[in-house]
Amino acid sequence: MGEVFGRTTMKVLAGLVGASLITCTVFAQTQNDPPGRVGRLAFVEGTVSFHDDEENGWTKAVVNTPLTTGDAIWTEPNSRSEVSLAGTRIRMDGSTELDMTQIDDRQVRLQLAQGRVDVKTTTQMDATQPYEIVTPRGTITLQQQGDYYVEAGSQQDPTRLGVRAGAAQIQGLNGQTLAVRPGEVGEVYGDGSSMQLKTVRAAPPAPAASWAARDRQVVYDQQPQYLPAGMTGYEDLNGYGNWVNDGNYGQVWVPRSTPADWAPYRTGHWSYVKPWGWTWIDDQPWGFAPYHYGRWANSNNRWVWVPPQREERPVYAPALVAFVGGLELAAQLGNQGRTAAPVGWFPLGPREVYVPPYSTNRDYYQRINRAARIQDRELQERWERAQRREAFVAGQNSVLANQRFATIVPSQTFVRSQPVQRAALKVTADQIAKAAVAPVSAPPAPTASIAAAADAKATAQPADDKPAAGPKGQADAQAKGPDAPVARTAVADMQTLARPKAAEGEKKPVAPGPKIASTDSKAATGDKADSKTAKPATPPLQPRQGAAPPALKETGKAAPEQAKQESEKPERARQEPGKAAAPSQKEAAPAPPKPTLGTPDPSPSKHDDNKRDEPKQAAPATEKPAEPQSRQEERKQAAPDQQKPNAAPQPKQDAPKQAAPQRAPAAAPPPRQEEPRQAAPQPAPKPEAAPRQEAPRQAAPAPAPQPRAEPQQPPQQAQPQRPQPQPQQQQGPKDRETRAPAPQQQQQIAQPPKAEPQQQQQPQRNNNKKDKD
């Protein structure tokens, strides 16, 4: 019994191990397949350059170029560009370099070497796969859907992360982490061990106003309800087309304006993009999503785009087309085909299978076709046909729906990435219908036979040799060109057009761009590193280019404190006295002399009222010449008159803030009494500021003894002594005092004591009311 139990246990364990090995194998194959998520260069204005991992230099960037791991975008000064990625919008200002360090189904990792980007994510962002942006001073993680901006910083400027909405964090090179919430800006200063991180409570700056027109044209926030989440390039569909209900395919999209004799995959060019191979890049601003997802149908003599099934996760394809070519197509075109070595393609229709030529993974093949509503039986049959290298030949098997709309060009136009529409050959529908369709979605080599691909001789023949002699041998010899590179597909081992070498292909114009940052973390030490596992090296700090970024002003926690300071200690030296709020600000606190004593430095306005002894200490400092004796005598005479009313109100010195609003009416009666002396009533506010400047000088002796009742008498004895050094401190009040009457000065000189001016003016206000009564 135990023996049987042991054997059963071993069988179960063996089965589990085998299943795990199969799972690991499938996962490893999936990792080697191209990613299902890509980016897109959605908008370009000015000079924008592109660089991939195989180019030696920068080339001119083209709209609708797919962006994947290893690509980079450089935006010149006074230019701008936009990258879209599965509903995420990334906008670049001038002098900005953005590297695609990793873009796949598991992670999005970008590198901002210099400049600024504005990132806005949508609901398609997976919280378990946050976006990362590597900067010269650390890594930024966007943790939630939101609106952000990032400045790489420079040798002179900090690295910044602003959060308009959402949540993010910065991890500095020293390991310190800083969380940034909405309405905050995180800043990183320094370098190496001296790095400092801080949060500024300030509204992040808005994107440039030049993006307003783009915002009116495209919509990221409102994704059409007929599309699956996570599709790149959907944002332009509503702006350039309409959604209509088709009786055969349901909701379809129709472009509003197209060129004459237009068909899908006709206004653009082919480009070799790794790891997919030949990729279609359309010229239309909306030409990304309809050419890499879904299918096209010609319904009632108009082209409609059938989107992929909404319930399925979309998988990017380089071009959803079927190809014609080879010796069969050259024979159909006669002399035109022999000289041009033609190759053609047409869009796949609804429920037609796409066979990727770059992957042999059966699971990937099913995932990329699952959203097209294709039955499993059809997928199985089409896969087996591709393995047998069986082409679609008229009269032998079914013809694909859109084959009569194929576009035919010379092979040199294809491999050199030249515009297709102006190079298209004129071919009749009958000639295209008789052409053989390749078993996989790859351009057939013009020197090979598609129909005879299953022949043993054809499979054993090297790619560089001539095909076997046969009925079409002469056409093959004439069609073969000196610069038609040939390769073989991963599926079906079919001979296909290969990417031309640099010497064979047409040289692309060199575009401006910075030096590419190394993506190998061990490049500096010379060690070998795996490009898939190694993290990118942090880009070096660049010197500042152009003007410095604007300084940020804190508005959150500091706001209440500033409001207190403005109400208690108004900065009159920096405010206009003629404003309506000026009287309340002047009378709000008896310390206006503080800004006047240090007019070059506005910092005194930020002190608290409890530190009123500071201006008294600053009073003895005399830097200006003394005032004339006549003015000193006037002050001496005014001192005793002012001290009389001060004796009574002195006990209520502890309530200066409450009396502040009551002083406004008290300031009015003095000018009425001084009308005979005062020539004009308008300069009245100006003399009020002058006596207040001198007030702390006269009040200096009062706080020395601390008792509240005693300061009333000492000012009488000290005032005749103080006027001598006091006029030496300021020369500005001379002009103000000459224009102001003496009684007004006397009344304000008594104000410096904390509570004295408030209580002194209150009885005056009551007297005025009695006079009015």
**Structural contact between residues 196 and 190, judged by C-beta atoms closer than 8 angstroms:** yes
Cβ within 8 Å of residue 129, ≥6 positions away? 106, 107, 108
For 576, the token pair is 């206009």
Residue 636 and residue 718: Cα distance in Å, rounded?
A: 10
DSSP state of 557: T
Q: So what's the pLDDT on residue 618?
A: 42
Cα 362 to Cα 27, 180, 407, 439, 535, distances in angstroms: 12, 44, 30, 16, 31
Query: Residue 262 in contact with residue 68, Cβ under 8 Å?
Result: no
Q: What angle do CA 255, 256, 259 make, to 5 degrees?
A: 85
The radius of gyration of the chain from alpha carbons, rounded to an integer in Å, stands at 41
- Phi, psi torsion values for 57, nearest 5 degrees: -150, 180
User: Comparing C-alpha atoms, which of 253, 247, 259, 372 is closest to residue 304?
Assistant: 253
Q: What is the pLDDT of residue 54?
A: 77
Q: What is the mean pLDDT of each run of 10 residues along the chain (773 residues)?
A: 45 43 38 89 96 85 96 96 94 95 94 96 78 96 94 94 96 94 95 86 90 88 84 93 94 92 95 96 97 96 95 95 93 84 96 96 96 94 93 78 95 95 91 91 93 54 42 45 78 92 62 66 38 59 84 64 42 42 40 41 42 43 46 47 43 44 45 45 46 44 46 46 46 44 43 45 43 42
- Residue 378 has φ and ψ, to the nearest 5°, of -65, -40
CA geometry: angle at 699 spanning 605 and 748, to 5°?
80
Query: Residue 307 class from Cβ within 10 Å (0-12 exposed, 13-18 middle, 19+ buried)?
Result: buried
CA distance 585 to 283: 64
- DSSP strand pairing (486-488 vs 495-497): antiparallel
Regarding beta strands 131-135 and 108-114, do their DSSP bridges make them parallel or antiparallel, or are they unpaired?
parallel
341 CA to centre of own chain: 46
431: which 2 tokens? 């000639």
Position 515 scores a pLDDT of: 72
Q: Which residues contact 432 (CB under 8 A, 6 or more apart)?
A: 324, 332, 344, 403, 404, 406, 408
Contact 262, 346 (CB under 8 A): no
> Taking a C-beta distance cutoff of 8 angstroms, is the pair 543, 155 a contact?
yes
Dihedral angle of Cα 651, 655, 661, 667, to the nearest 10 degrees: 30
63 CA to centre of own chain = 18
For 159, other C-beta atoms within 10 Å of its C-beta total: 24
Coil/strand/helix, residue 365: helix
User: Minimal CA–CA distance to 144: which of 160, 124, 171, 159?
Assistant: 124
Phi and psi, residue 159, nearest 5°: -85, 135
Tell me how crowded residue 623 is: count the other CB atoms within 10 A of its CB: 8
Number of Cβ within a 10 Å radius of residue 455: 15
The predicted pLDDT at position 55 comes to 72
DSSP conformational letter for 399: P
Query: Which 3-state string (H, E, C) describes 689-730?
Result: HHHHHHHHHHHCCCCCCCCCCHHHHHHHHHHHHCCCCHHHHC
pLDDT of 558 reads: 41
| pLDDT (0 to 100) of residue 770 | 41
Taking each helix axis as running N to C, give the angle between helix 629-647 and helix 756-772, from 0 to 180 degrees, rounded to the nearest 10. 80
d(CA 624, CA 593): 16
C-alpha neighbours within 13 Å on the C-beta side of residue 471: 6
CA neighbor of 109 nearest in space, from 64, 51, 70, 75: 70
Q: Which residue has the tokens 């959907």?
A: 234
Quote the tokens at residue 151. Answer: 């400045």
Which residue in this structure is represented by tokens 């969380």? 179
- Tell me whether strands 241-246 and 407-410 are parallel, antiparallel or unpaired: unpaired
* DSSP helix, strand, coil percent of the chain (3-state; round to 5): 35, 20, 45
pTM, entire model:
0.67
* Secondary structure element (H or E) that encloses residue 280, with its range: strand 277-282
In this predicted structure, what is the pLDDT of residue 302? 93
d(CA 16, CA 696): 90
How many other CB atoms sit within 10 Å of the CB of residue 559?
Answer: 10
Please give the single-letter amino acid code of residue 156. Answer: Q
- pLDDT recorded at residue 399: 77
